[in-house]
């Protein structure tokens, strides 16, 4: 698993109390080549909160003091519907400023702030991987159905953020891989109300799939958008 990373690599999973994040963290902690796997969320000992950006900087500073560098950063945060309980919009007439703002804050702005805090911990002269959970519906080219406006737009924004981060990271380290990932429709608290039992994988299967995809990517694929089978998704 993640054989291209150095032996004794250090990993950070942001959103480690969600089902996919927890499954990714568990896989890393059973990898003999991983020296340290740290999970971060609002409920962990080293707590972070996108609504308190200083918490991200504080966590990064503490991890840097303890570990020096990290070689693997996985961002597993996200919401599909806003906290007011409304379903994803089927039409623009259902759009509200509150849902739009909340989804952008968590799905796009939060990961951008996490990248700002943790990218300085990545090495300049060793392989490293940065990945964030996106969604196929964030693809503009693949959108043939419409609807889900807030979620689609926030994930499209995330893809732009990740692609831009990949460019910056690649200038500093030609061994870096930074990508967006579509996990599939996972049996989880996030998707259960909307998937109507049309799940592609469990969270554990998803973690295995995504780590397998990341293991096979090369720096030539830095800045890409891939699904759980390793197939590239159109922007």
Q: What is the pLDDT along the chain (235 residues), one digit of tens a residue?
A: 899 999 999 999 999 999 999 999 999 999 999 999 999 999 899 999 999 999 999 999 999 999 999 999 999 999 988 887 678 999 999 999 999 999 999 999 999 999 999 999 999 999 999 999 999 999 999 999 999 999 999 999 999 999 999 999 999 999 999 999 999 988 656 555 555 556 568 899 999 999 999 999 999 999 999 999 999 999 9
User: For the chain, what is the HEC assignment?
Assistant: CCCCCCCCEEEEEECCCCHHHHHHHHHHHCCCCEEEEEEECCCCCCCCECCEHHHHHHHHHHHHHHHCCCCEEEECCCCCCCCCCCCCCCCHHHCCHHHHHHHHHHHHHHHHHHHHHHHHHCCCCCCEEEEEECCHHHCCCCCCCCCCHHHHHHHHHHHHHHHHHHHHHHHHCCCEEEEEEECCCEECCCCHHHHCCCCCEEHHHHHHHHHHHHHHCCHHHCCCEEECCCCECCC
pLDDT of residue 1: 82
pLDDT of residue 87: 81
**Angstrom distance (rounded) from CA 117 to CA 56:** 6
pLDDT of residue 199: 56
pLDDT of residue 218: 98
CA atoms within a 13 Å half-sphere pointing along the CA-CB vector of 156: 15
CA 189 to chain centre: 17
Max Cα separation, the chain?
53
**Angstrom distance (rounded) from CA 180 to CA 75:** 10
pTM, rounded to two decimals: 0.94
Q: Are 138 and 155 in contact (CB under 8 A)?
A: yes
pLDDT of residue 189: 60
Identify any residues that bridge with 102 across adjacent strands, giving them in sequence order: none
Give the number of other CB atoms < 10 A from CB of residue 90.
Answer: 12
Q: What are phi and psi of 203, to 5 degrees?
A: -60, -40
pLDDT of residue 196: 53
- What count of residues does the chain have? 235
């Amino acid at each position: 698993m993640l054989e291209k990373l150095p032996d004794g690599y250090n990993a950070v999973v942001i959103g480690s109390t969600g089902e996919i994040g927890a499954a990714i963290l568990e896989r890393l902690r059973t990898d003999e080549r991983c020296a340290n796997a740290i999970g971060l969320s609002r409920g962990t000992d080293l707590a972070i909160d996108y609504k308190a950006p200083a918490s991200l900087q504080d966590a990064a500073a503490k991890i840097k003091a303890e570990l020096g560098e990290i070689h693997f950063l996985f961002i597993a945060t996200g919401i599909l519907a806003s906290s007011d309980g409304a379903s994803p919009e089927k039409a623009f007439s259902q759009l509200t400023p509150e849902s739009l703002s909340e989804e952008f804050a968590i799905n796009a702005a939060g990961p951008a702030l996490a990248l700002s805090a943790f990218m300085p911990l990545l090495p300049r002269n060793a392989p490293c991987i940065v990945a964030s959970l996106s969604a196929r519906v964030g693809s503009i080219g693949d959108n043939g159905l419409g609807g889900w406006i807030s979620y689609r737009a926030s994930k499209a924004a995330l893809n732009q953020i990740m692609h831009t981060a990949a460019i910056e990271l690649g200038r500093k380290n030609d061994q870096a891989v930074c990508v967006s990932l579509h996990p599939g429709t996972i049996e989880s608290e996030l998707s259960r109300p909307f998937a109507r039992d049309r799940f592609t994988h469990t969270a554990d299967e998803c973690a295995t799939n995504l780590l397998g995809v990341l293991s096979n990517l090369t720096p030539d694929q830095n800045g890409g958008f891939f699904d759980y089978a390793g197939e590239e998704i159109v922007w």
